[in-house]
Amino acid sequence: MSYRLSVLDQSPIVEGTTAAQALAETIDLARHCDALGYHRYWLAEHHASPGLAGAAPEALIGPVALATRRIRVGSGGIMLPHYSPFKVAETFALLAALAPGRIDLGLGRAPGSDQRTAFALQRDRSRRMPVDDFPGNLAEVVAYLDDAMPTDHPFASLSGTLPSGGGSPEVWLLGSSPDSAMWAGEAGLPYCIADFINSDGRPLADLYRRSFRASARLAQPELIVATWAIAAASHAEAERLSLPSAMMLAHLLRGQLIAVPSAAKAESWAAEQGRPARQRRVTLGTGGEVHAQLDALAAEFGADELMLVNIMADHAARRHSYTLIAAEYGLAALAQAA
């Protein structure tokens, strides 16, 4: 196998249920994917959403890490503009002490919300936070974690105060734009392209590699592509299971946020809409069909790893999807051998 497989969980809230149930299902799915042999399990950050429960991945990573055995657990991602770099470094050093050698810190620039919610998340509301301070804040987080803050920096002494004993988390930059690709390359960090948001992200992989400068953390470029993937017993069933997320996206593009509808409700909606064209790439089908499509995607990007994400109303179907894909790749045997 030339690339690793991992999971991104957005903790979907099904219509008529609660965030508490979604979070219980996240922990259950994490345990399942750990046993199946997936490499990482990342938790997304979304705010003020009736359909996604992951408002605070930094609060969810600890319980997931303690509920699993070997899988790496991390954020996909922490939206850095909302937070103090020192607070982020301190939090993830603490998580690393809780689960040594298994914590990832994925960082993003997007708000994970609409602009009003992003403003509400700010402590200082006298002005909107500037976008162009992201590279500096990213460098500050890494400097704390690596105890490499310049000696003349006013916060230099704080690096040595971080929770110790768990090593430093892996730091990843997440994105779907040229800015993020360049920043990841220039900082010498591994990069995760959100193909499930921007399916035209192939040029970002080239830009990242061209921009890459070796760092103390990374000698060569390392690339994850996060992409939609649904496997089922038949192609038709996988198509049916994909409809709730298609309905959510269509409403989102109209400025309407909804909980995850049932597959039956989404089927009725799709019939009324005349099965609208897909807005983003979706890999779906039987286990074998998904395997072939993922191979093509990994080759297209030159990816070192694919991170699979889906939103379904049926938790058992989500579990089964990841089971089918893991079986195709023989992940459990590979994990045991490692």
Tell me whether residue 165 is in a domain. Answer: yes
For residue 125, the enclosing domain spans 4-234+281-337
Count of C-beta atoms within a 10 Å radius of residue 86: 16
How are the residues of the chain apportioned to helix, strand and coil, as percentages rounded to the nearest 5?
50, 15, 35
Separation CA 36–CA 323 (nearest Å): 7
Contact 215, 306 (CB under 8 A): no
| Runs of H (alpha helix) within 40-84 | 57-67
**Mean pLDDT for the chain overall:** 92
pTM: 0.93
Q: Before 77, cis peptide (omega within 30)? A: yes
Tell me whether residue 185 is in a domain. Answer: yes
Tell me whether residue 271 is in a domain. Answer: no
Tell me whether residue 247 is in a domain. Answer: no
In this prediction, residue 176 carries a pLDDT of 92
CATH number at 90 reads 3.20.20.30
Count of C-beta atoms within a 10 Å radius of residue 299: 11
3-state secondary structure of 23: helix
Query: Which amino acid does the sequence have at 292?
Result: A
In this prediction, residue 121 carries a pLDDT of 57
Q: Which of 321, 221, 337 is nearest to 12 (CA)?
A: 321
Contact 223, 305 (CB under 8 A): yes
Separation CA 249–CA 255 (nearest Å): 10
Which residues, given as ranges, of the chain have pLDDT below 50? 112-113
Count of C-beta atoms within a 10 Å radius of residue 276: 12
Residues in the chain: 338
Residues 6+ apart with CB under 8 A from 46: 10, 52, 54, 55, 112, 113
> What is the DSSP pairing of strand 191-194 with strand 72-75?
unpaired
Separation CA 34–CA 49 (nearest Å): 27
Tell me whether residue 275 is in a domain. Answer: no
Q: Which of 24, 56, 57 is nearest to 41 (CA)?
A: 57
Separation CA 6–CA 41 (nearest Å): 6
In this prediction, residue 258 carries a pLDDT of 97
Separation CA 130–CA 116 (nearest Å): 15
Tell me whether residue 147 is in a domain. Answer: yes
Q: Residue written as tokens 């690793």? A: 4
Q: How many domains does the chain have?
A: 1
Contact 34, 70 (CB under 8 A): yes
In this prediction, residue 338 carries a pLDDT of 75
Q: Which residues pair with 4 in a beta bridge?
A: 305
Q: Which of 147, 134, 49, 43 is nearest to 95 (CA)?
A: 43
In this prediction, residue 113 carries a pLDDT of 47
Give the end-to-end CA distance of the chain in Å, rounded to a whole number: 13
Structure tokens at 9: 């969980």
HSE on the CB side for 139, CA within 13 Å?
A: 13
Tell me whether residue 251 is in a domain. Answer: no
